[in-house]
Amino acid sequence: MHMTGPPQSLRRFRFNRPQRIAAGLLAIFLVQGFWLAGRPSQGAIDTPYALCGSQMWRNPAPDAVDSTSCGRIRDGILAYRLAGLPVALVGLDGSGREMASPANADTPAIRPAGGASPSTVRPGLVGRAAIRLLPRLPFLAAGFLLGGCLWWVTRRLYGNRGGYTALALYCVSPAMLRSCAAPDAGVLAALALYGSVYTWIGVAHAMRPRQRWSPRMLLLAAGLGMAASAHILALSLAVLLGLAAMLWIAAGRGREILPAIFLAVAGALALVFACYGFSPGATGYALRPAAGFARFSLDPARQFFGSPTQAGVTLAAGAALVLYLCVRKSRYFGNTAPLLCALVCVATIPAGDPNGAQLWALPFLLTFVGGVFADAYESRRGRWALAAAAAMAALQAAVCVASLPGLLN
């Protein structure tokens, strides 16, 4: 499907019926996310992120990322920065205690959990409730933004019904809710990877003329920088998948593609350098070759699609794949690109992460599902396709609600 910039009249924000339906679906996502974020997790995964992240913000020295209680960060610094920022802003130390103020400077030192250096802190009423929710808010916001990006892409490519299909399945995905309701780099990498690939595609379409290059290049650099700061392998996938899409769209224009790649990657590396406190040593450690290593296996994909909590998504993906293979009308770039991206991500296992990158694959997979079903809605049996999609979304919603109480255990 040909992707071009919308007319000027369509660029104005409108809150008509399609936008209201999408907002309602995203509100359902937020309600579930806030309910999960307000519950204590038995694994206590919030404390290391909040503690080390708040230490980075309170100590702006270039070596701050190396002097926290977590030592050198192995899995991307962005999750620690985001989890620690709201904690540091309200004056907590990351372990649920308020920072000492001049008024209580004589309070004895307490060593925070996680091996941090002693600091003068005191138990605070704010900390008991805030430390549970504050570190999780940035990740819930990232999940909300990813849902908005998914809606924007699928609606622009496939129309309202295709957008509804993809967004409805996204908003009742236990895997995504689990990643958004607690500090986790997975949702950050998924957002950056998905946004970067489709920005690459937008840049490729805007090469001639170049009036819309500048804002898209800035957006692309920001997306790639976010990907590298979340997980360096996400940057590699974003560049490789985006480059493949650009070569597909802009075939024969290699001289124009190379400057775009150079500018985007240079901007991304500058953002990574800033995230690591402008420390060459810490940035070099984050960009070391071993951090970007990955292996490929179908085992995580089998676990993901074999999980009862993904029953609706699995059925929808299987039906979409059958339709894609059997109906020639569905085999075009708009459907093929997200399918290939999903296949690459779902089979990728980053170094040190046995769970793989299924979460990175989910928005691409749902984009593919939305596109294929949008074509089916326009066929002679469109009503049957619409009924089947509604049934799958209802099934996914049922298993999602049933699985919510145990997601963070």
Which residues are paired to 296 by β-bridges?
A: 348
> Is the same domain home to 390 and 324?
yes
- pLDDT, the chain, mean: 80
- Least Cα distance to 157 among 405, 367, 396 occurs for 367
Of the candidates 66, 120, 67, 124, the one whose C-alpha atom is nearest the C-alpha of residue 90 is 124
Question: 71-75, 237-241, 349-353: which has the highest mean pLDDT?
Answer: 237-241
- The pTM of the full predicted model, rounded to 2 decimals, is 0.85
Helical residues (DSSP H) of 73-181, grouped into ranges: 78-89, 125-133, 137-171, 174-180
pLDDT at position 4: 46
| Pair (205, 350) in one structural domain | yes
Summarize the chain as % helix, strand, coil (round to 5). Answer: 70, 5, 25
Domain end among 111, 136, 161: 136
Range of the domain at 203: 137-406
Integer Cα distance of 9 and 25 in angstroms: 26
What is the Cα–Cα distance from 261 to 187, expressed in whole angstroms?
24
Q: How many domains does the chain have?
A: 2
Least confident stretch, 34-48, 121-135, 149-163: 121-135
* Assigned domain for 169 exists: yes
Residue, of 167 and 217, whose pLDDT is higher: 167
Q: Which residues have CB under 8 Å from 137's CB, separation 6+?
A: 37, 86
Mean pLDDT across the stretch 367-382?
Answer: 94
- Do 316 and 350 sit in the same domain of this protein? yes
Residues 54 and 144 in one domain: no
Are residue 89 and residue 206 in the same domain, yes or no? no
Q: Can you tell me the distance from the alpha carbon of 386 to that of 373, in angstroms, rounded to the nearest whole number? A: 8
Residue 317 and residue 201 share a domain: yes
Mean predicted confidence (pLDDT) in 229-247: 88
User: Which pLDDT value is given to residue 321?
Assistant: 96
Burial 84-98 (b: 16+ CB within 10 A, else e): bbbbbeebbbbbbbb
Q: Residue 140 in contact with residue 180, Cβ under 8 Å? A: yes
- 72 within some domain: yes
Once rounded to an integer, what is the mean pLDDT over residues 108-113? 34
Model confidence at 306: pLDDT above 80: yes
Higher-pLDDT residue of 384 and 264 is 384
309-325 pLDDT, tens digit each: 999 999 999 999 999 99
pLDDT at 113: 37
What pLDDT, on a 0 to 100 scale, did the predictor assign at position 2?
Answer: 43
Q: 142 and 131 in one domain? A: no
